[in-house]
Structure 1
Amino acid sequence: MLGVKVPRRDAEKVRKKLIELGILATDLRVKHNGEFVIFPVKEKVEGFEIVEETFERAKRRPHSYREVVDIPSELRPLLPSSFDIIGDIAIIELPEELIPYGKNIGEAILKAHKHIKTVFAKRSKVSGEYRVRELIHLAGEKRTETIHRENGIRLKLDVAKVYFSPRLATERMRVFKKAKEGEVVFDMFAGVGPYSILLAKKVKTVFACDINPWAIKYLEENKKLNKVENIVPILGDVRKVAGQIKADRVIMNLPKFAHEFLKEAMISVKTGGVVHYYGFSHENNLFDEHLKKIKEVAKELGRDIKVLEKRKVRPYAPYQFNIAIDFVVF
């Protein structure tokens, strides 16, 4: 194989030149020989010392953990094609058949993704008053706290103590773009503040409520981390808070149970204010049942609504979607 031999002091300058000429063999490893560096090249090039040399293949970082994971071949079709990344922590959902190979899968994820430092598998569904799930440590550092970055903000959180979905970043930015300067926002199920922190960059005040003390603890930390002062964290049951706040915009990011809190949302929103409602639905009936419930509660309260937008946010389970309905309350 042909190589270009240069003094070590000139190596970086020559490397850039060879790349510019398109003749550097990037699939082979550069050799170091005393005070000289030898670059593998695809063809001869004038102006440099050309030598014959043997080069080793360069190690390439795999594009996917599935390229390097060590499991029986008959189980490979069961490997998930994706997983959640929260900060530098990966959380993957594994079928029962793959649990015994969890360590191998975790190590493969670390090998394929340089920025990931810890890998967990989901042991349970999100459940309980605090909306958290049990996790199984597979590989990497044994910690559950991280800092997640999205939409220009930083969110410190503990994946074992609070609920957080990185898959809603686009939805959070959508709501941010609809919000207006001077608004008062009521984030009914705020968590560590992914909506609240982002919106605080734009609106007048955000009242951020959550029943999980760990969520409020991290929300307080995230206020400082992002240098926003116009958030009022509220630890407690939103039922006891509703009505004491009159907001221009209400966020109901609790899709499994949001329908149970429609009254609380509607007594907290000003006339002409907007509610961002989230739910889960089967693909055969995405919005009808939710709209029926929204209209029923509005009628009970002597109010009326106007739907602004209905949309699928993301797939949630087979044939199931996380949906959003934006509506004005009069």
Structure 2
Amino acid sequence: MLAVKVPKREAEKVRRKLLELGVLAKGYSVKREGDFVFFPVTGPVEGFELVEAEFEKTGKRPHSYREVVEVPDELRPLLPSSFDIIGDIAITELPEELMPYGKAIGEAILKVHRHIKAVFAKGSKVSGEYRVRELIHLAGERRTETLHRENGIRLRLDVARVYYTPRLATERMRVFEKTQPGEVVFDMFAGVGPYAILLAKRAKLVFACDLNPWAIKYLEENRRLNKAFNVIPILGDVRKVAGRVKADRVVMNLPKFADRFLKEAMMSVKPDGVVHYYGFGPEEDLFSEHEAKIKAVARELGLKVEFLDERKVRPYAPRQFNIAIDFRVE
């Protein structure tokens, strides 16, 4: 077919011009030979070298795995509309009816998302003192360690051994933007360090505590990986650490049980320091129960609190939300 032949150094400028003229042929791959690039065109174009060339057709690439996966028609409405991507690992949640088709679903995800190398299904809820879940391998590589990037940092982790969700990346950046240079931060439930490593870019010092030895192992690696040497990893029960650390800012990212550690948080924050508290709340009344608990613990310790911000973070379950409350301890 007819083609415009141009030197490589001019290719991008010419491509834009051909698009502007409306003569660039669609559905074909651009061809490269030596120092030249060949663009397929729909007809003669003045001012360019025209040649005959053969081009490979390009098929329209699917945007979703649901366009290519093969499952019975009656089950298609049950296909998940989204899944978590952590590094090059995808983790999806399948209803029981789709589990027999797990391999086909996993392979469809790999086909559409070329950067994903392994696909797993959630085999259980997050549980236990280390907050991990069972994973069922569906397709791709049989490994659970990966390197994840978010907010300009790199996090190495094992999705089967530590708790991590990419769905809090925006919330972590929100806390980062509130953190002031020179602050001391106490991350009470640090995991592999998504808060701690990020906040270390602005804070003077970050104490990062976790009970899971695997989380601390990866936190130490991520500290080196990001050159965040002002992060101090602490393996152990936060109850034994509370009070020994005095911070300007405390992060309590343990939404299911954070209310049980309010005393420890308030013992660890400096006067006029800020606590970032997370919990779960029903849609009809997101914050009241948590506010009452925060006030009660403050009274018990002879302290006062000022609520600074309250917000929905993300949906958690039907009519349930992960919520955030920022409060100052006076």
What's the TM-score once normalised by structure 1's chain length? 0.92
User: Paired residues, what number?
Assistant: 326
3-state DSSP of counterpart to 1:296: helix
Who is 2:272 aligned against?
A: 272
What whole-Å deviation, never above 9, does each CA across 1:246-300 have from its counterpart, x for those lacking one? 1111100000000111111111111111110000111011000000111111111
Separation in 1 of the partners of 2:227 and 2:11?
A: 45
Aligned AA for 1:171?
Answer: E
Q: Tell whether 2:20 aligns with 1:20.
A: no
1:144 touches 1:159 (CA, 8 Å); kept in 2?
yes
Would the aligned equivalents of 2:151 and 2:169 in 1 still touch at CA under 8 Å?
A: yes
Q: Is residue 143 of structure 1 aligned with residue 143 of structure 2?
A: yes
Work out the CA distance in 1 between the residues paired with 2:181 and 2:313.
Answer: 25
Q: Which amino acid aligns with 2:254?
A: L
C-alpha distance in 1, partners of 2:97/2:24? Answer: 45
In 2, distance between residues paired with 1:193 and 1:225?
11
Q: Residue deviations 1:149-196, cap 9 Å, x none?
A: 111110110000000010101111111111111211110000000110
The runs of at least 4 aligned residues of structure 1 exceeding 3 Å deviation read 9-16, 29-33, 36-40, 46-51, 53-57
Q: After TM superposition, list the pairs within 5 Å mapping 1:214-233 onto structure 2.
A: 214-233=214-233
Query: Are residues 32 and 152 of structure 1, via their aligned partners in 2, closer, same or farther at CA, if it must alter by over 3 Å?
Result: closer
Does the 8 A contact of 2:44 with 2:50 survive in 1? no
- Going from structure 1 to structure 2, the CA distance change for 1:301 and 1:67 (only over 3 Å counts) comes to same
Q: How does 1:158-307 map to 2 (within 5 A)?
A: 158-307=158-307
1:297-330 deviations in whole A, cap 9, x for unaligned? 1111111111000000111111110000000111
Distance 1:242 1:11 in 2: 62
Distance 1:264 1:245 in 2: 10
Q: Secondary structure at the match of 1:146?
A: strand
The alignment partner of 1:239 has SS state of helix
Q: Distance in 2 between matches of 1:293 and 1:41?
A: 69
Give the whole-Å Cα distance in 1 for the aligned partners of 2:4 and 2:329.
74
2:85 aligns with 85
SS at match of 2:248: strand
The residue type equivalent to 1:307 in the other structure is F
- Gaps in structure 1 of 5+ consecutive residues: none
Cα contact 1:44–1:50 (8 A) shared by 2: no
State the distance in 2 between where 1:307 and 1:102 align.
Answer: 46
- Partners of 2:155 and 2:101 in 1: CA distance: 31
Question: What SS does the corresponding residue of 2:206 show, helix, strand or coil?
Answer: strand
Q: Which residue of 1 aligns with 2:65?
A: 65
CA 1:105/1:12 → structure 2, altered by over 3 Å: closer, same or farther?
Answer: farther
Q: Could you say what the CA RMSD is over the residues aligned between the two structures, in angstroms?
A: 2.3
SS in 1 for 2:170: helix
- What is the identity, as a one-letter code, of the residue corresponding to 1:20? K
Aligned counterpart, 2:317: 317
- Given that 2:11 and 2:37 are in contact with CA atoms closer than 8 Å, whether structure 1 keeps it comes out as no
Please give the secondary structure, in 1, of the residue aligned with 2:104.
helix
* Amino acid in the other structure paired with 2:17: E
- 1:267 match: secondary structure: helix
For residues 76-108 of structure 1, give each alpha carbon's deviation from its aligned partner in whole angstroms, at most 9, with x where no partner exists.
111111111111111111111111111111111
- Partners of 2:144 and 2:2 in 1: CA distance: 48
The one-letter amino acid paired with 2:139 is: A
In structure 2, what is the Cα distance between the partners aligned to 1:154 and 1:50?
A: 48
Which deviates more, 72-81 or 247-256? Answer: 72-81
Residue in 1 that maps onto 2:123: 123
Q: How much has 1:115 moved relative to structure 2?
A: 1.4
Tell me, what secondary structure is at the counterpart of 1:249? strand
**1: CA distance between counterparts of 2:10 and 2:70?**
40
- Aligned partner of 1:327 in structure 2 is 327
Does the 8 A contact of 2:4 with 2:40 survive in 1?
A: no
Do the aligned residues in 1 keep the contact of 2:155 with 2:222 (CA within 8 Å)? yes
**Deviation digits for residues 176-219 of structure 1 (CA, Å, limit 9, x no counterpart):** 11111121111000000011001111111111000000000000
Query: What are structure 2's unaligned runs of at least 5 residues?
Result: none
Distance in 1 (CA, whole Å) between partners of 2:321 and 2:129 is 22
Q: Tell me: CA distance 1:201–1:11, structure 2 relative to 1, closer, same or farther (3 Å).
A: closer
Instruction: Give the match's secondary structure for 2:119.
Output: strand
Q: Residues of 2 paired with 1:141 and 1:17: CA distance?
A: 42
Cα distance in 2 between the residues matched to 1:132 and 1:179: 29
Q: Is the 8 A contact 2:192 2:216 kept in 1?
A: yes
Distance 1:32 1:235, change over 3 A: closer
1:192 alignment partner, SS class: coil
